[in-house]
Amino acid sequence: TQLLEQSPQFLSIQEGENLTVYCNSSSVFSSLQWYRQEPGEGPVLLVTVVTGGEVKKLKRLTFQFGDARKDSSLHITAAQPGDTGLYLCAGVHNFNKFYFGSGTKLNVKP
């Protein structure tokens, strides 16, 4: 059983559309991070959120941490083909142990 559940698992959309990826858990996390991974590469950190209710923006990407620090969402506005990849959320327990979600595979078609 995954500690962090991501949804959807797969997402195929047209360029210009908006999308939201969800990361849910019954556990409380010290912080929650989002990573993007390309095939054959390691994950690359996009953002870290640490405060319940926190919202962070990175260009067209908006990240939100739930008030209870158990869930998070990633919203992409006007998706582009360059956004294609595997999006992973990772929750940190007790400040030093990671739990990754199973990932959302995003394909943005031109």
Partner 1 sequence: DAGVTQSPTHLIKTRGQQVTLRCSPKSGHDTVSWYQQALGQGPQFIFQYYEEEERQRGNFPDRFSGHQFPNYSSELNVNALLLGDSALYLCASSPGEQGPWRGAFFGQGTRLTVV
Which spans of this chain sit near partner 1 (rule: CB under 8 A)?
A: 2, 4, 6, 30-31, 33, 35, 40-45, 48, 50, 88, 92, 95-103, 105
Which residue reads 């959320």 in tokens? 89
C-alpha separations of 87 from 22, 68, 101 in Å: 10, 22, 9
Shortest gap between Cβ of 18 and partner 1 (angstroms)?
Answer: 24
Strand 85-93 and strand 55-58: the pairing is: unpaired
Shortest gap between Cβ of 90 and partner 1 (angstroms)?
Answer: 8
Shortest gap between Cβ of 16 and partner 1 (angstroms)?
Answer: 27
Tokens of 13: 């959309």
Nearer to partner 1, 18 or 27 (CB): 27
